[in-house]
């Protein structure tokens, strides 16, 4: 039985995602008088932004300079950052943060001055935080309040984006599934912004929420957009590793405040890997942990912040402190078991410095996008900054390049999805995440990558046409991203940043380039008009 397309709506702009990039763009688009729809598959507060603990980085303190932030970002990116994109990020960041403050974001202060923390690979204390370790939640709160003040902005909650709609070569809308009613509808617009976040659910061990299934990247790929840098997946070194506990992120700011990593014998082990020890770039720390576990045969290592007293920890890290206590660990007295988990995608839908993708009418910002600011390894706390800077830039471009929304009703009324069945989808997603963790994780090797790619393609080949549903949509998207990430990891025959090949251990100048992937043609089941 096919899903029936029951409704068609028209807007000036559509935004997929209600994290920092989508909300920041929405404020400017609605402020310019455009009719805007924000689409999110759960509640508007559910996004990776809300999970961001550590903070947002910017050269705002008296001891800091923009040039230092630039150099730290380039150094972490391991030779693959776009210098112009990084300059945009660090130069426009302070103004964007001041806007957040003006709109009611309550960053932590020491007296009347903003409080700054230091995280790994930063040469200065430049990371702003809110409520200790709830920075993302506070930014979402302030931006949602600002966005909801515009009557021209509509929210579509519990609504899944199924696919982009093309009219000729131009993106003119979205095919949507309303999970509340089960109905499929069309939303048409002059422009579409993808701000849908990453794809951490590709991996068995991840800090990401269940929503992070790579929807925006997969939709863009099926529509013919170029994707880049997909081999660079960042694994956060320290997530809670205890029976019954979720892979709760233990912020890098803990190490910035003095936490060290120890093995079961209580010995520090990171200094032989890097002069900065626990404050080395995330890829170095993650690999150091994996190597120590391999040497010791243990399942985890331990984060030790017992140099700090309980009052400081409750004040500085209230959410982390409370979560650890819930699972039986007191940060002030106990060493907490930790293990790396998949955390952030440096790659994504390729854009220019103004959010434009290779498909006319389609824009992207935030983790879903690849503007070149992160290179091979993201500097801590640059992700929220990227979202607010490039969300604003994309909105400015969409306003200046605005075209009329399609005004005629399309003849498109029935649709079906080429995907795993609902019954198969959950089991297949689990198999995929196990495969990706085992073969396309922190350390990679050519033969294992080829085996993984063959398996993923086999799963894709077993897809059948069927009605639209959440599980088939998400699994289809994860399979697309799984194949692309694996192909990119196989293609890059060197080790650089977060991409580490056991069979190509050295970094090579000949690989100082970006790998791009584009579907040979728009997918056969993509909604098309004209």
This prediction has a pTM of: 0.93
CA–CA separation, 464 and 475 (whole Å): 13
CA distance to 141, 209, 235, 237, 333, per residue, from 248 (Å): 21, 10, 13, 12, 19
Instruction: Answer yes or no: do 160 and 260 share one domain.
Output: no
Tell me, what's the pLDDT at 339?
95
Residues 258, 321 within the same domain = yes
Specify whether 204 is located in the same domain as 134. Answer: yes
Q: Is residue 530 part of a domain?
A: no
187 in any annotated domain: yes
408 lies in a domain?
A: no
Question: Same domain, yes or no, for 316 and 393?
Answer: no
Nearest to 369 by CA among 22, 28, 105: 22
- pLDDT at residue 204, rounded to an integer: 95
pLDDT, residue 134, reads: 84
CATH value at residue 290: 3.90.700.10
Establish if 450 belongs to a structural domain: yes
Are residues 250 and 224 both part of a single domain?
Answer: no
Of 288, 316, 340, which marks where a domain is finished? Answer: 340
CB 3, CB 414: distance < 8 Å: yes
Three-class DSSP category at 288: helix
Q: Which residues pair with 444 in a beta bridge?
A: 501
Note the pLDDT of residue 2.
43
Same domain, 208 and 260: no
Identify whether the C-beta of residue 118 lies closer than 8 Å to the C-beta of residue 124.
yes
pLDDT digit string, tens, across residues 275-316:
999 988 888 999 999 999 999 999 999 999 999 999 999 999
135 with 245, same domain: the answer is no
pLDDT of residue 363: 98
Active-site annotation holder among 282, 356, 496, 501: 282
DSSP 193-254: EE-----GGGSSSBSS-TT-S-HHHHHHHHTT--EE-TT-EEEEEEEE--TT----B--HHH
Going from the C-alpha of 454 to that of each of 349, 435, 458, 459, 484, the distances in angstroms are: 24, 11, 6, 9, 12
Q: Domain limits at 267?
A: 237-340
Q: What is the pLDDT of residues 189-228, one digit of tens each?
A: 999 999 999 999 999 999 998 999 999 999 999 999 999 9
* Residue 485 belongs to a domain: yes
Do 204 and 105 lie in a common domain? Answer: yes
Residue 99 and residue 165 share a domain:
yes
Would residue 410 count as lying in a domain? no
Q: Give the residue among 307, 312, 302 at the shortest CA–CA distance from 335.
A: 302
Q: Does residue 528 fall inside a structural domain? A: no
CB 242 within 8 A of CB 236: no
The CATH number given to whatever domain includes residue 30 is 3.50.50.60
Residues in the chain where the model's pLDDT stays below 50: 1-2
* Structural domain count, the chain: 3
CA distances from 242 to 36, 167, 177, 282, 300 (A): 43, 50, 37, 21, 9
Residue 379 and residue 274 share a domain: no
Angle at 213 between CA 186 and CA 290, to 5 degrees: 170
Q: Are residues 321 and 304 in the same domain?
A: yes
Does residue 353 share a domain with residue 330?
no
Residue 282 annotated to the active site: yes
CATH assignment of the domain containing 500:
1.20.58.100
Compute the C-alpha angle 13/224/228, nearest 5°: 95
Q: How many CA atoms lie within 13 A of 404 on its CB side?
A: 3
Phi, psi of 90 (to 5 degrees): -80, -30
Which domain-ending residue is among 340, 359, 378?
340
């Amino acid at each position: 039985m096919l899903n029936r397309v029951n409704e068609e709506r028209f807007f000036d702009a559509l935004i997929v995602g209600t994290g920092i990039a989508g909300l920041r763009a929405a404020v400017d688009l609605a402020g310019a008088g455009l009719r805007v729809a924000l689409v999110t598959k759960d509640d508007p507060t559910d996004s990776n932004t809300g999970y961001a603990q550590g903070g947002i980085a910017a050269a705002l303190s008296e001891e800091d300079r923009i040039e230092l932030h630039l150099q730290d970002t380039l150094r972490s990116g391991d030779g693959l950052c776009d210098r112009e994109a990084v300059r945009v990020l660090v130069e426009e960041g302070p103004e964007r943060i001041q806007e957040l403050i003006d709109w009611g974001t309550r960053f932590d202060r020491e007296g009347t001055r903003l409080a700054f923390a230091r995280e790994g690979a930063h040469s200065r204390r430049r990371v702003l935080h809110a409520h200790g370790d709830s920075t993302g939640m506070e930014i979402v709160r302030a931006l949602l309040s600002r966005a909801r003040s515009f009557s021209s902005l509509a929210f579509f909650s519990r609504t899944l984006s199924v696919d982009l709609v093309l009219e000729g070569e131009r993106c003119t809308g979205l095919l949507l599934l309303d999970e509340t009613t089960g109905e499929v509808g069309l939303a048409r617009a002059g422009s579409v912004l993808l701000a849908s976040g990453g794809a951490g659910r590709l991996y068995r061990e991840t800090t990401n929420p269940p929503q992070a299934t790579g929807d925006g990247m997969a939709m863009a790929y099926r529509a013919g957009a170029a994707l880049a840098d997909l081999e660079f997946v960042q694994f956060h070194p320290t997530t809670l590793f205890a029976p019954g506990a979720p892979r709760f992120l233990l912020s890098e700011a803990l190490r910035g405040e003095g936490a060290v990593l120890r093995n079961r014998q209580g010995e520090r082990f990171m200094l032989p890997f890097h002069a900065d020890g626990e404050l080395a770039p995330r890829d170095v720390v993650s690999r150091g942990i994996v190597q120590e576990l391999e040497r010791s045969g243990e399942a985890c290592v331990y984060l030790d912040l017992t140099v700090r007293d309980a009052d400081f920890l409750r004040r500085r890290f209230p959410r982390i402190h409370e979560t650890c206590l819930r699972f039986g660990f007191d940060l002030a007295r106990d060493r907490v078991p930790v293990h790396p988990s998949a955390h952030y995608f440096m790659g994504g839908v390729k854009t220019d410095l103004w959010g434009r993708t290779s498909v006319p009418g389609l824009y992207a910002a935030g983790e879903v996008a690849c503007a070149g600011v992160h290179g091979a390894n993201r500097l801590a706390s640059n992700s929220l900054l990227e979202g607010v800077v490039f969300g604003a830039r994309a909105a400015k471009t969409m306003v200046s390049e605005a075209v009329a929304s399609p005004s005629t009703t399309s003849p498109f009324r029935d649709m079906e999805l080429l995907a795993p069945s609902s019954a198969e989808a959950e089991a297949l997603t689990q198999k995929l995440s196990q495969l990706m963790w085992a073969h396309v994780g922190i350390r990679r090797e050519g033969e294992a990558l080829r085996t993984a790619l063959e398996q993923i393609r086999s799963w894709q080949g077993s897809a059948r046409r069927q009605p639209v549903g959440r599980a088939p949509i998400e699994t289809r998207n994860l399979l697309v991203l799984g194949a692309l990430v694996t192909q990119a990891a196989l293609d890059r025959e060197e080790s650089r940043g977060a991409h580490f090949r056991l069979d190509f251990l050295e970094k090579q100048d000949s690989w100082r380039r970006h790998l791009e992937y584009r579907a040979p043609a728009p997918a056969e089941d993509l909604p098309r008009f004209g």
